[in-house]
Amino acid sequence: MPMLLKTMDLPESSAPTLQLVQATEPEIIESSTLGSISWKGPLDTSDYLRREAHLRNQRLTRDGGITYWILVDTAAAPTPGGSRRILASCETIRKRALIAQPGAAVRETICHGIGSVHCNQHYRGRGFGRRMMVELANILDTWQQKEGERADCSVLWSDIGKDFYARLGWKTYPSKHIALPPKSSHEHAVGFPKVVTLASEDIYGICSTDEANLRSEMAKSTLAGSSIGVALIPDAATMRWHHAREEFLAKVLLGRWPTSKGAMAEAPDGERVWCIWTRTFGASQDQSVLHILRLSVEGESNLGQSASSKPTDTPHDHAQKAQVKAIAAVLQAAQVEAFDWGMSSVQIWNPSPLSILAARHLEPSAEIVERHDESLASLRWHGKPMPDDAKIDWISNEKFGWC
């Protein structure tokens, strides 16, 4: 570990010599080691570093898909090992997204997801984290965009409340979830459609269908005034990144391999419902959760509606009743999977009104939980300035987008 700077030797956070730069390979390892104190969970530092290296080598992150940033003082002497002293660090992951605007065709864009934001614990309280995010916002305006074009947006999930990132331009969006308890297969409710378990090889076709449906629904959606619809694309590369994470932890911690990746059911009218899940392993059982990465209903046209919308007590018609039962069927499969893996709960982020009805069909007392301190979805608009009354709708704001 490089020698720490004394407080009196630290630059001011406003110093013009501070710069946000891409990390070298040794600096990536150093920043990951520093961040392991906050992010390693049940892993030891060595396994955490191996996991991070594994996640760097996924389809989503290869070939420039992930960028490691460090805030350094360009006027400071290098460490004895030749590295620059890291004041703060973060990562950005290149994600595919869709933009819908009134009077225009739905278009694909690049949206960067920001993660692993960390300030060296010995240098905190000096404003370096804020300076890093200001510099990053400026860089992301054009980062990995076509020459002469600006980015549309970037996203992050705050674990330090709403205020810090909101003041820097990342607006907080609905960050709610509904939790279901794990249940054994012997506790199965009856009267639901048949469920098929999804394996890794099923994910690519499912995600391709899901993306096509999402594009179609966004093209048909009605946006008020100058509103803009933004949706991260739930593609196979994104799901594979999440699954690579769970597989590594399952093998290291439990010596098991998670073969099931989700579940699918079919409503009587032929419309399919599916969910893709991942297991999150915490330092204790109550921190271990089976997360629904994506829950999709063919033909469900309620884009932009989520737990922020007030759900009705009952479905409106026969078709919706069938959809609710199909959703309940795949959520029940998730409950059984959570039980098998010793998870504390199944969580569905920002569930749609129909998903809420399905969850309460399984667990009548299930409540919508609003998160205030962790995993707060936040979005910054980098595109052209918008009218004061313009609104950005974050569509399909689900767990799969998290990084």
pLDDT above 70 covers a percentage of the chain that reads 93
Is 331:277 a contact under the CB 8 Å cutoff? no
DSSP H helices in 23-119: 25-39, 45-56
- The per-residue pLDDT for range 316-356, each reduced to its tens digit, is 677 788 999 999 999 999 999 999 999 999 999 999 999 99
Residue owning tokens 């690049």: 110
Q: What pLDDT score was predicted for residue 1?
A: 45
Nearest-CA neighbor of 280 among 41, 109, 79? Answer: 41
Task: Name the DSSP letter for residue 310.
Answer: -
Greatest alpha-carbon span in the chain: 71
C-alpha torsion sign, points 299, 303, 308, 311 = negative
Residue 215 binned pLDDT confidence (cut-offs 50, 70, 90) = very high
Query: What pLDDT is recorded for position 53?
Result: 98
218-230 per-position pLDDT tens digit: 998 877 666 899 9
What tens digit of pLDDT does each residue of 281-327 get?
998 889 999 999 999 998 766 565 555 445 555 666 777 889 999 99
Decide if pLDDT at 179 tops 60: yes
363-372 own/partner pairs: CB under 8 Å, 24+ apart: 363/180, 363/181, 366/178, 366/179, 366/180, 367/178, 368/176, 368/177, 368/178, 368/307, 369/176, 369/177, 369/178, 369/179, 370/175, 370/176, 371/175, 371/176, 371/177, 372/161, 372/162
pLDDT (tens digit per residue) in 353-373 = 999 999 999 999 999 999 999
DSSP 109-157: EEEEEEEEEEE-GGGTTSSHHHHHHHHHHHHHTTTTPPTT----EEEEE
Average pLDDT over residues 194-212: 97
Report which secondary-structure segment, H or E, holds 295. Answer: strand 289-297
What is the pLDDT, as a whole number, of residue 56?
Answer: 97
Distance of CA 314 to the CA centre of its chain: 30
d(CA 354, CA 367) in angstroms, rounded, equals: 14
- pLDDT tens figures, 53-108: 999 999 999 999 999 999 999 999 888 877 899 999 999 999 999 999 888 899 99
Q: What is the pLDDT of residues 123-166, one digit of tens each?
A: 999 999 999 999 999 999 999 998 888 999 999 999 999 999 99
Contacts of 167 (CB under 8 A, 6+ apart): none
What pLDDT does residue 313 have? 59
Range from 140-144, 179-183, 186-190 carrying the lowest mean pLDDT:
186-190
Span 244-269, pLDDT tens digits: 999 999 999 999 999 999 999 998 77
Whether the predicted pLDDT of 33 surpasses 60: yes
pLDDT for residue 203 is more than 80 = yes
pLDDT greater at residue 312 or residue 10: 10
Question: What is the band of 5 on the pLDDT scale with cuts at 50, 70, 90?
Answer: low
User: pTM of the prediction?
Assistant: 0.94
pLDDT at residue 83 in the model: 82
| pLDDT given at position 7 | 57
Question: What pLDDT does 309 receive?
Answer: 47
Whole-number Cα distances in Å, 347 to 58, 150, 265, 293, 355: 25, 35, 19, 9, 12
Amino acid letter, residue 180: L
